[in-house]
Amino acid sequence: MTRLVYFAWVRERIGKGEEDIDLPADVTTGADLLAHLKTLGDGYAHALEHENVIRIAINQEHVEHDEPIAGAREIALFPPMTGG
């Protein structure tokens, strides 16, 4: 099981802030994860429609979309940040 957490409009569109899911063996990178999640329902497809704007963090550190996700305890998906 992998813990996924979502924030801001990604969270709102998916309809939940976190979940634990089993990932298929062929989901090996952040980009694979986005593609897989988009098949899980309309909310996911809407949230992740523009994959290039989605930011990914693994174990609370920013990563690129081609980063391997093997061994990740927590993967976060969120929009560009607007703090400060």
Partner 1 sequence: MAGAAPAPVIVRVQRDDFDVAAETARLVAGGASAGAIVSFTGLCRDEGGRLSALELEHYPGMAEAEIERICLAAVTRFSLLGIAAIHRVGRIAPGQNIVLVIAAAPHRHAAFDGASFVMDYLKTSAPFWKKEHFADGSEGGWVEAKDSDDTALEKWS
Residues that bind partner 1 (CB under 8 A): 5, 7-9, 57, 60-62, 76, 78-84
Q: Shortest CA distance to 10 belongs to which of 41, 43, 40?
A: 43
Q: What is the length of the chain? A: 84
- Considering the complex, state which of residue 24 and residue 30 has its C-beta at the smaller distance from partner 1: 30
Q: Are 31 and 64 in contact (CB under 8 A)?
A: no
Nearer to partner 1, 24 or 84 (CB): 84
Give the residue with the Cβ less far from partner 1, 39 or 82.
82
CA–CA distance, 26 with 12 (Å, rounded to integer): 27
d(CA 23, CA 83): 31
Report, in Å, the least distance between residue 4 CB and partner 1. Answer: 13
CB of 46 to partner 1, least distance (A): 14
